[in-house]
Amino acid sequence: MSSANIARYMAKIPMIPEHERLVKDHQPQTPVDRQRYRYISTRCLSVKCVVSFALIATVIVALMITMGKSLPPDEFARYEVITGFFQQDDPSTVPGTFDYANHNFGLIDQVYDTDADYDTTESKTQWQRFDHKVFRLNRESRRLVQYKIMFLARHGEGYHNVAESYYGTPAWNCYWSLLDGNTTTTWADAHLTSAGIAQATKANTYWKTMLATQKISTPESYYSSPLYRCLDTARITFTGLETDDRHPFLPTIKELLREGIGAHTCDRRSNKSVIANAFPRWRFEEGFSEEDELWKPLVRETESAQDARSKIVLDDIFATDSNTYIAVSTHSGEIASLLRVLGHRVFSLSTGQIIPVLVKQTIVNGTPLPTTIEPWTPVSTCSEPPPLPTAVS
């Protein structure tokens, strides 16, 4: 049984062309596997297949009705970033050299119009005054508008990051990323390297500093991609912080916060029971399946399909969570996609980096402009390992 979010996503992406043939030609598949790919095949013309599509469609509609969380068909959610608060949303800030830990997560030092009746003794910190500013924005906004402060964190360095640098991106993409690892390293659902653990530890220390010096609020809600490197980054980042009793560190694992899906084994998640064992008591979103139902070999989600997915997960978080401070542990590609959907400027993050974003959601009447969603596309493969990049002197 899939989650309603997966159903929404599957309903949006066009069928994957030629996938069945690709998989069959590339490596032998068990009959069970072929069965699972059939619903995305373009050759879905048989009666049986049409019936199964009808069944999926019925399940989707039923889910949407019973969940009652999706918007009426004549309303949709629009997102925008409120700029002028963070250095990261200022076009003059260079993303490549920026570090969230240099100054207040990037919060710009300034006076807000809401300071006057809040900070009469001029004793509040920048983050306390920002917090109050956002509180006022929410309090004074119309019913269909909400503001959230989202901390989008990229996981620390994983073994797949090291392997991609070692082999070079072209060889990684066409050959090595399709394998679970080499003879000495595993990168399927990659774990953090010691450098990755150090990056997450730095984030943990920084949150502690910000709590002590800026009296920042800890996140009220925590979400993570189901991939191990993100779960572990979130665990290290937020363990041992003094959180408000009403908002303990208890993340929700959301399927659609994962990295671009398909082909690369580092982006194939572990079974739910394996995750539950490694991260006991963490919550799974409703309908989270035991096995990874989305990942497929040899095809990869396109940017437009990923953006459609990011929109679904944002709509879901905003519809079900009234908290303001939201922490999200995810990936570089997924943060890039979330930022596109939110309307933030391009801001790429190296491993372990964090970007705070002040987001405004407005529920508007009408239908959104249609967008083209490209089907997942086959990846180009190399039949043998390409030579190692020659060392640059």
Ligand X SMILES: *[C@@H]1O[C@H](CO)[C@@H](O)[C@H](O)[C@H]1NC(C)=O
- 160 is known as an active-site residue: no
* 293 vs 303 by CB, closer to ligand X: 293
From CA 316, how far away is CA 3, in angstroms rounded? 12
Q: How far is the CB of 181 from ligand X (least distance, A)?
A: 7
- Considering only 185, 323, 332, 362, the residue that binds ligand X (CB under 6 A) is 185
Give yes or no for residue 184 binding ligand X (CB under 6 A).
Answer: yes
- Piece in contact with ligand X (CB under 6 A), picked from 21-29, 40-48, 161-169, 317-325: 161-169
Q: Shortest CA distance to 86 belongs to which of 124, 122, 117, 126?
A: 126
Q: How far is the CB of 252 from ligand X (least distance, A)?
A: 21
Q: How far is the CB of 120 from ligand X (least distance, A)?
A: 57
- Considering only 66, 92, 183, 372, the residue that binds ligand X (CB under 6 A) is 183
Q: CA neighbours within 13 Å on the CB side: how many for 345?
A: 14
Question: Residue 211: exposed, middle, or buried by beta-carbon count in 10 A (0-12, 13-18, 19+)?
Answer: middle
* 167 vs 325 by CB, closer to ligand X: 167
Q: How far is the CB of 44 from ligand X (least distance, A)?
A: 25
From CA 380, how far away is CA 145, in angstroms rounded? 44
Give yes or no for residue 180 binding ligand X (CB under 6 A).
Answer: no
Give yes or no for residue 141 binding ligand X (CB under 6 A).
Answer: no
Residues 253-282 that bind ligand X (CB under 6 A): 271
Q: Is 66 helix (H, G, I), strand (E, B) or coil?
A: helix
Q: How far is the CB of 290 from ligand X (least distance, A)?
A: 5
The answer to whether the CB of 228 falls within 8 A of the CB of 270 is yes
Q: Shortest CA distance to 231 belongs to which of 149, 327, 311?
A: 327
Contacts 24+ apart (CB under 8 A), 120-125: 125/213, 125/214, 125/215, 125/216
- Piece in contact with ligand X (CB under 6 A), picked from 62-70, 98-106, 179-187, 378-386: 179-187
Give yes or no for residue 166 binding ligand X (CB under 6 A).
Answer: yes
325 sits in which H/E element: strand 325-330
Q: Binding string to ligand X for residues 286 to 325, with x set by CB under 6 A, is what?
A: ----xx----------------------------------
* 123 vs 390 by CB, closer to ligand X: 390
- 164 is known as an active-site residue: no
Helices (H), the chain: 4-12, 19-26, 31-37, 47-67, 126-139, 159-167, 169-174, 194-213, 228-238, 272-278, 303-320, 332-342
- Considering only 59, 145, 162, 211, the residue that binds ligand X (CB under 6 A) is 162
Q: Which of 255, 259, 301, 334 is catalytic?
A: 259
Give yes or no for residue 390 binding ligand X (CB under 6 A).
Answer: no
- Considering only 35, 46, 58, 182, the residue that binds ligand X (CB under 6 A) is 182
Most distant pair of Cα atoms in the chain: their distance: 74
What is the size of the binding site for ligand X (CB under 6 A)? 10
Residue 311: other Cβ atoms inside 10 A: 24
Q: Which two tokens stand for residue 143?
A: 């019913």
Give yes or no for residue 169 binding ligand X (CB under 6 A).
Answer: no
- Piece in contact with ligand X (CB under 6 A), picked from 82-90, 135-143, 183-191, 341-349: 183-191
User: Cα angle at 315 between 19 and 36, to 5 degrees?
Assistant: 25
Catalytic residues: 155, 259
User: Which residues contact ligand X (rule: CB under 6 A)?
Assistant: 162-163, 166, 182-185, 271, 290-291
